[in-house]
Amino acid sequence: MANGANHKLSRTLQRREDATGYLFMLPSLIFFVGFVIIPMFICIFMSLTNANMHASKEVSFIGLQNFVKLAKDKEFLAALKNTFIIVLVSVPVVCLFSLWVASVIYNYNGFALSAFRCIFYLPVVTGSVAVTAVWKWMYDNYSGIFNIVLKETGIIEKNINWLGNSDYALWCIILILLTTSVGQPIVLYVSALGNVDQTLVEAAKVDGATDTQVFWRIKWAQMMPTTLYILVITTINSFQCFALIQLLTKGGAGTNTVMYYIYYTAFKLTEQTGHFGYANAMGVVLAIFIGLLSAVQFKLAQEK
């Protein structure tokens, strides 16, 4: 990078760089191309066919029929709506919550800082299966701690079937998702706060700016790249919320999401003709949505 960044390399040198560059890339490319890129292209191709799990059934090219069918599929549209509710609720909440936590713990000394950082990270490390297992119990109709405590304190009279009631189920899942999403943003915000240009902060304070003003006008502005990164990873993370739904509700009680519906169509609707192609079409639609959303976030952050 240091030399030759701006002027063109000579032909032999360029050839040498090409050769060594690709040789170094090769081990990684085998896995990346083999298990990500090729499946991606197969996915797009299969979304235009009526492929099935059982190879015995005939496969034919059906153009955009799967996508037309998707636009009319009520279940898919409901799943899409739920997915967007999850993303639109969790992304801003995660962002603001972690910003607040980070700005508080940033003032602490080393031990307290890393202790808090650790605690908020623990649900991520615990793993989705263990986390869902314990929440499943806590939400349980009879032996769940929520119902027991709410009944003891007289807030509710009858047990609430948290995960079976479509008024609550999606929100219960969002709550779990939130606890497993804030760990990384907090770590990121703490380090971003450490990188804020202190001379600007001092200068503003001398000019009589309040703490609030310093925070929003200077620190927030300087942390914009971090915020953008957090927005993107939280969006991706929220879209991937699969284990929670598969293990807690199996998409029932109005908690179906596109993620789960893809899995369900691919492996549970095996009798339906063309289910593999159909599931792939969903995958393509989802990828387009994620791409669009990331692009919008980039655009917004750049304007600010």
Partner 1 sequence: MNKITSPRTKAYRFICTIILILLALMFLFPLYWIVTGAFKPGADIWSVKPVWWPSEWTMQNFENLLNKRSSPLFEITIPFSRYFTESGKNIVLFQGPTAPAAYRWLINTVFMAVAAMILTCITATFAGYALAKKRFRGRGILFGLIVCAMALPKQVILIPLLKEISFLELYDNIWAVIFPTVGWPFGVFLMKQFSESIPGEILESSRIDGASELKTFTTIVVPMVKPGIGALAIFTFINSWNDYFLQLLMLTSNANFTLPLGIATLQGETSVDMGLLMAGAALSALPIIIVFLIFQKYFTKGITMGAVKG
Q: Among residues 77 and 100, whose Cβ is nearest to partner 1?
A: 100
Task: Give burial (CB, 10 Å; 0-12/13-18/19+) of 208.
Answer: exposed
How many positions of this chain bind partner 1 (CB under 8 A)? 102
3 state SS of 12? helix
**According to the binding rule CB under 8 A, does residue 31 interact with partner 1?**
yes
- CA 150 – CA 293 distance, rounded (Å): 39
**According to the binding rule CB under 8 A, does residue 125 interact with partner 1?**
yes
Q: Among residues 96 and 134, whose Cβ is nearest to partner 1?
A: 134
Q: Among residues 58 and 211, whose Cβ is nearest to partner 1?
A: 211
Q: Among residues 76 and 120, whose Cβ is nearest to partner 1?
A: 120
Among 65, 126, 161, 222, binds partner 1 (CB under 8 A): 126
**According to the binding rule CB under 8 A, does residue 24 interact with partner 1?**
yes
154-173 residues in contact with partner 1 (CB under 8 A) are none
Tell me the sheet residues that pair with 61.
Answer: 49
Closest separation between CB of residue 164 and partner 1, Å?
12
Q: Among residues 29 and 221, whose Cβ is nearest to partner 1?
A: 29
Q: Residue 295, Cβ neighbours under 10 Å: how many?
A: 10
**According to the binding rule CB under 8 A, does residue 46 interact with partner 1?**
yes
- CA 270 – CA 53 distance, rounded (Å): 7
Q: Residue 111, Cβ neighbours under 10 Å: how many?
A: 8
Look at residues 164, 177, 3 and name the one whose alpha carbon lies nearest to residue 87. 177
**According to the binding rule CB under 8 A, does residue 242 interact with partner 1?**
yes
Q: Are 120 and 101 in contact (CB under 8 A)?
A: yes
**According to the binding rule CB under 8 A, does residue 247 interact with partner 1?**
yes
60-79 residues in contact with partner 1 (CB under 8 A) are none
Contacts (Cβ under 8 Å, ≥6 apart) of 199: none
Among 58, 157, 208, 304, binds partner 1 (CB under 8 A): 208
Among 95, 214, 253, 284, binds partner 1 (CB under 8 A): 284
- CA angle, 160 then 164 then 168, to 5°: 65
Stretch that binds partner 1, among 68-76, 165-173, 196-204, 221-229 (CB under 8 A): 221-229
Closest separation between CB of residue 290 and partner 1, Å?
6
Q: Residue 69, Cβ neighbours under 10 Å: how many?
A: 15
Q: Are 192 and 226 in contact (CB under 8 A)?
A: yes
Q: Among residues 225 and 252, whose Cβ is nearest to partner 1?
A: 225
